[in-house]
Structure 1
Amino acid sequence: MVTRTRQLPERRGKFSDNMSAASRKKGKLSKAEKLQLQKEEEERRQREEEEAQILAEQIEAARLEKERLEREELERLEAKQLERREDELAEHRTLVDEKLETAARWKKDVRTLAKWERYTLCDGSPDPTVLQEINTFMSLWSEEPPEDFQAMLDRSSLILRLIEELEFLLLDTPLEELGEAAAAEHTETGRQLQVLLQRKFDEATEQLLKNAAALSDIDTGNMQKVIQNKNVALCIWANLNKNPRFRGYDFQDQAISFDLPKPLSLSNIAVRILHTDYDHLSCQSPTFLPQVKEHEDTAGAVIPESEAGDWKPAEEDEKTAPESVAAEELKSEERKSVLSAASHREEASEPEERSESWAADASEAHCPTPAPTDEDDMLEVDVVDLRQFTTLGGVYYFDVLVLPPQCKQVNSWSMRQLLAGGLQTFCYPQESFLSATLGVSLQEKDMEGLSSPPVRVSFKVPDNVIFFEEPQVARWDPEGRNWKTDALTDIKYNAEQRQLMFSMDAFYTFTLIQESHLHMPYASWELIPKGVNEVSLTIVSAVTDIQIDIKDGQCRLAAVSSITGDLSAVIERWMTPVRLQLAMRRVGLNVFPAEDSGKYVSGNQKNDEVENMAYKEMALLSPSFTFGWSKWNHNCSSEQIVVKVREGSGSCTDGSLYLLSRQRAQRLKISEASDTFSEERYDGSEFHTTLYHMIRDYCSAEATTRLQHSHHLFMDCVYQLLSATRVLTYS
């Protein structure tokens, strides 16, 4: 391009040469001299304007020339990318999709083998997946006479194992493989097992109380007893002596005690504290499952699974292969959530002792965030939203019961009055008093004039759960089927002793709750290679640092900072990603966002296809490259992802920044220390269809070789954990 430049006029002499000596002496200018000065000033101004215009034209011409060259270079690079697009996609499918599909086939074979081994197992336990077999077992057990409580505890271990077997089957098996009918059948079987289990606990409790006199303590004249196993602990106290001096009891081995109101110390009652390490009540709450409201344009539409989350480049939507089977397994968890939600509505009229649904755990997978409904706005102030809070430490069934008639010796005869109706609850306070005062704090009542004083409870928070904030306590409302925080007062917590004390205006089942999204958004994260088919994922939150190790096809919780508690049940134990998620949630380490977590925590929402594609790329590259959090990921659009990468292990502080989108991957010129975000391409870099091919331009041959020889189960495990933690969205 030729730039034309106008010739600047020559400058004239100074106007002072034309001045008359007389005028200079007088200090005044004549009219002619003034006109001459004005003329010269005008000429000077015009010259400056012309010079400025010429300079501006030169700058603009240079800018246009630069833009033209950049545009031509960009078009050349884009054309080059399009030329090799098919080859890069084909290689990407071989490296990523085929490995994930191979892992999915392997896991399917494992499930098939496990099913056969279960079929050939001859240990006397029923197969919960065979309807006729499990129904026969439940029918026979239901008709058996009441057992003593120790025998019942032994039997409960089998029941809980059967329930866990069904739970894991629903979580681990894609719905396409399991079938909707079988999924609904297994859900109902688990529900019936849990209902029957609670009923049998009540029968065993009644049987124990009928013999309370024979088990009474010599010192107090009352009966107090503890029976437990690893899942259930029964603390029971019978008021046989009815002495006002004994208004409570401290079960020291279980670190739980209660103080009764004076009116109850003279009543024919028993107090039962049944502590289970599982929660069979939360599933009954309307807030247990995410509330999904269909959009008008998609209501009633059936979306093929191959379209729900499949990564297809913009120009290749109709050409690329379907999403890998591994991603389908993650998506199947969402469908189980919907299925369980339907089952939950159908069971709305069932008795209170309904079973725990495990659908909420299945719904925690990475899937599109649903549109929120207005139901949240209708929740009462004291109702616990189980999408926002999680129950921890199990459930404490705290009941005051009518003490059944005791056996009497008359001569050589042993006589006992038999009452119909089974285990009876003692009404305290009276229903009229409770209905008049429920929801009113004890501070607002006249404590001196209360005919039904509150009940005091003190217990030690279990060591096997982690609370990063002061534990909150909630009581179960059987009518509204919700956990609520009303009717609980004078709450005190001793953090050093982990001792919690509070008062209740009646006997309620209670539990401990904690904010579900306490660790989100993450402050930062890193995925660091450690060896052959071995990486470490570190997530830094506001309250702790969590390290998860991944090796071959398994993972483990390796370390947690700044905690007090016993994590021996989960830490340093290798397990599958599904089991690790369940185990970490149960101890209070939830770094696995739910589909509706965006309603409760600020996140950096990304397009599902782009995010899913990025996790695949990271899983592929993880054997040779360290990935880390970048602040610029928050500045780019929802259709783009910025990630920090460096070859080898170690900190990713000085890593390079890469921009990913559906169309391409590119290396950015900016660094983490830059002042502003820019999509400007790194000098000398090109465009590629995938991050793998982009990074390959800068990595060593050894790094590429390690990627090609990584194991498919290892890659699948990394992909599942990244999809579960969603570090690109919640950081």
Structure 2
Amino acid sequence: MVEREEKEWTQYLKCDGLPNPTDIKEMNTYMYLWNESLAESTIEDVTNRSQIVLSIRNDFQDMLAYHFDMACYYFLRNMETNMDLVDMKILAYTKRTDNFILCMWAPRKLPDPLLNPQTLMDDLLEDTLQINVKKTSVNQEIVEAEDKLLNEIRKELKKSVPQNEINLRKHTILGGVINFNLYYQPPQPKMLLNKTVVTAIQLPKELIPSPFFLEYIPPPPPEAGVRRLPEEIEADLKKQEFEFDKLVLFTIDLPDTALWFEPPLVCKWDDTANIWSTKHIHDVKYNEDKFTIQFRTGCFGLFGIAVNRYANVPYQTWELRPEPKGTGVIFGITAAVIICEFLIKESHVTLTLLQNGATNALQEFVGIQFKLNELINILQNGGVDVFPSFDVFNYTEGTCEKLWPMEKHLYENMAYVSSIYNFTWSRWNNLAGKRSIVMQMREYQDKRKQLSYSTLLVTPYEASLIDSTEVSQSFNSTKTHKKFCADLFHLVEGVGSINARKKLENINLRTVKTVADILIATRILSLA
């Protein structure tokens, strides 16, 4: 209730003339008044109004996400009543609408049985003996079954599309959508001899599209082994040029609000199939120096510029370290092309560095604090996508996907000690396989001279410092300590310095949460 009142008070203090997205009466009044002024709208009015509508839409999205979270929270407070029983241990709930499908699963807590301590000890000893005897074979069978299942899931996730269709799992539409249309010219005002201005009224009062479609069929490639005369080649080129001249030629200046790393693709929205397609797009020419793209087409409609969303994957290096003489955490990535650095403090992330871009796009966002989701949207809309989707491994090469439960748990451990320790990449990580993660770590010193890095090896069973360096001739997984440590946090508690363990008592949990979120979003341990 307090948070709701604060939001209403903040909305009241804005005094910007916009309706409250949560108030249906205000929204209806706003839309009615806007519709009444339709006949008097000018280009300037519509342009200004579009900015207002987009602002309200963003407020709607934030409010919708907040209400979804709160509705799920209250729903899950009584899971036994609200959810369906799948089996003795799992509860589930599904809500289907025309716009989304909401699915929730939850473990069902069962009462603990009262056991005879002596019987429990006997069973435990018997089970332990059986496990010790079959340990190797059982583990191997589980690993093989798990790998087989993961490979099958990975194949199912890979989306295959026809030749002319744009795969939106691999590509993204960058720079907005361009609407090219051809219309009949509306009646123009005419001045009579007596200086009376007369305008014919055409009904309905709207722009009427002019039908236009020309299909261009590229000439077939020459047959193999057939030698053609120069005159024949020249005649074919002239015929092709003549057919090209019938098509509409477009030249587009690529938006300077985004960074372009690879030659983009021009595509058109197909209303029938509901896909982005390169069909009817011909003679595409990309000027990398002027950032222009030229193409010919025989139809009008919605056009977009598609780019490879994983142009910056895999990463070259990364580093996570405490902020010198500060309370934040610095996270840097050297991707395939771009170099970016983030400063994380509590619930906010600041982009402090963005280098290697061909233009100054996105530089206006450097040094400004954002929520992580807001910053991700800004960078992705600007062509800098270092926040890959779960199926990135289907469309990239040179990566090594790690076992996700192990990887996610390690990100959370790294975030917890990120204000004390310095982590960075290792050249052995990509060669270590799916069930091993290798990186370098050291305790960060406030003084100018830092300690040397130690090599950290993490598996699903153990975390250990090993006798191997970046300049070693071969990888050596021999431990440099005798203590068994189940994960990174256990390792820091077990072999870390007294000073480091004391600092863990005063860490900022909001910063830990944000660091963990950005590490999970970037997947640095699988992509570098």
- Residue 303 of structure 1 pairs with residue 105 of structure 2: yes
Q: Distance in 1 between matches of 2:8 and 2:314?
A: 40
What is residue 412 of structure 2 aligned with on the other side? 616
Q: Distance in 2 between matches of 1:587 and 1:140?
A: 35
- Residue 159 of structure 1 pairs with residue 66 of structure 2: no
- Normalization by structure 2: what TM-score? 0.73
What is residue 705 of structure 1 aligned with on the other side? 502
What is residue 726 of structure 1 aligned with on the other side? 523
CA deviation profile, 1:404-458 (whole Å, cap 9, x unmatched):
11123444463322221622111123xxxx3xx2665798994576598111222
**SS of 2:259's equivalent?**
coil
Cα RMSD between the aligned structures?
3.7
Q: Distance in 1 between matches of 2:61 and 2:71?
A: 13
CA deviation profile, 1:651-686 (whole Å, cap 9, x unmatched):
99952122334544322233334444454322x331
Unaligned runs of 5+ in 1: 1-107, 183-288, 293-299, 308-367
- Residue 495 of structure 1 pairs with residue 288 of structure 2: yes
Distance 1:121 1:604, change over 3 A: same
Distance 1:375 1:675, change over 3 A: closer
- Residue 406 of structure 1 pairs with residue 188 of structure 2: yes
CA deviation profile, 1:28-82 (whole Å, cap 9, x unmatched):
xxxxxxxxxxxxxxxxxxxxxxxxxxxxxxxxxxxxxxxxxxxxxxxxxxxxxxx
- Residue 539 of structure 1 pairs with residue 333 of structure 2: yes
Distance 1:180 1:624, change over 3 A: closer
Distance 1:619 1:509, change over 3 A: same
Q: Which residue among 629, 632, 635 is the counterpart of 2:428? A: 632
**SS of 1:578's equivalent?**
helix
Q: Which residue among 352, 360, 363 is the counterpart of 1:558? A: 352
Distance 1:423 1:596, change over 3 A: same
Indicate conservation of the 8 Å contact 1:470/1:493, yes or no.
Answer: yes
- Residue 114 of structure 1 pairs with residue 3 of structure 2: no
- Normalization by structure 1: what TM-score? 0.54
- Residue 419 of structure 1 pairs with residue 419 of structure 2: no
- Residue 586 of structure 1 pairs with residue 381 of structure 2: yes
Whichever residue aligns with residue 646 of structure 1, its letter is R
Indicate conservation of the 8 Å contact 2:158/2:391, yes or no.
Answer: no
What is residue 235 of structure 1 aligned with on the other side? none
Q: Distance in 1 between matches of 2:464 and 2:108?
A: 27
Q: How does 1:505-544 map to 2 (within 5 A)?
A: 505-531=298-324, 532-544=326-338
Range with bigger deviation, 456-465 or 518-527: 456-465
Q: Which residue among 665, 669, 672 is the counterpart of 2:463? A: 665
Q: How does 1:129-528 map to 2 (within 5 A)?
A: 129-142=22-35, 144-146=37-39, 147-170=41-64, 173=66, 175-179=68-72, 303-304=105-106, 373=156, 376-377=159-160, 379-410=161-192, 411=194, 412=196, 414-420=198-204, 422-429=206-213, 434=214, 437=215, 440=218, 446-447=239-240, 453-528=246-321
**SS of 1:402's equivalent?**
coil
Indicate conservation of the 8 Å contact 2:440/2:454, yes or no.
Answer: yes
Indicate conservation of the 8 Å contact 1:525/1:727, yes or no.
Answer: yes
Whichever residue aligns with residue 492 of structure 2, its letter is I
CA deviation profile, 1:603-630 (whole Å, cap 9, x unmatched):
3223332222111111111111111112
Q: Report how far residue 135 of structure 1 moved.
A: 4.3
Whichever residue aligns with residue 31 of structure 2, its letter is M
Distance 1:374 1:697, change over 3 A: closer
Q: Distance in 2 between matches of 1:409 and 1:370?
A: 72
Q: Distance in 2 between matches of 1:110 and 1:633?
A: 45
Q: Report how far residue 590 of structure 1 moved.
A: 0.3
Whichever residue aligns with residue 169 of structure 2, its letter is R
**SS of 2:168's equivalent?**
coil
What is residue 18 of structure 2 aligned with on the other side? 125
Indicate conservation of the 8 Å contact 1:466/1:589, yes or no.
Answer: yes
Indicate conservation of the 8 Å contact 2:189/2:197, yes or no.
Answer: no
Q: Report how far residue 691 of structure 1 moved.
A: 1.6
Indicate conservation of the 8 Å contact 2:457/2:464, yes or no.
Answer: yes
What is residue 120 of structure 2 aligned with on the other side? none
Distance 1:714 1:369, change over 3 A: farther
Q: How does 1:41-56 map to 2 (within 5 A)?
A: none
Distance 1:451 1:526, change over 3 A: closer
What is residue 87 of structure 2 aligned with on the other side? none
Q: Report how far residue 635 of structure 1 moved.
A: 4.2
Distance 1:565 1:301, change over 3 A: closer
Structure with bigger RCO (C-alpha 8 Å, 6+ apart): 1
Whichever residue aligns with residue 619 of structure 1, its letter is A
Q: Report how far residue 119 of structure 1 moved.
A: 6.4
Indicate conservation of the 8 Å contact 2:312/2:335, yes or no.
Answer: yes
Indicate conservation of the 8 Å contact 1:628/1:643, yes or no.
Answer: yes
Range with bigger deviation, 709-718 or 137-146: 137-146
Q: Report how far residue 178 of structure 1 moved.
A: 4.6
Distance 1:459 1:176, change over 3 A: closer
Q: Distance in 1 between matches of 2:525 and 2:157?
A: 28
Distance 1:440 1:659, change over 3 A: same
Percent identity of the aligned residues? 25
Unaligned runs of 5+ in 2: 76-99, 110-150, 221-235
Q: Distance in 1 between matches of 2:347 and 2:354?
A: 22
**SS of 1:424's equivalent?**
coil
Q: Report how far residue 165 of structure 1 moved.
A: 1.7
Indicate conservation of the 8 Å contact 1:472/1:514, yes or no.
Answer: yes
Q: How does 1:35-46 map to 2 (within 5 A)?
A: none
Q: Distance in 1 between matches of 2:278 and 2:334?
A: 31
CA deviation profile, 1:544-575 (whole Å, cap 9, x unmatched):
32222223432122222322222233222221
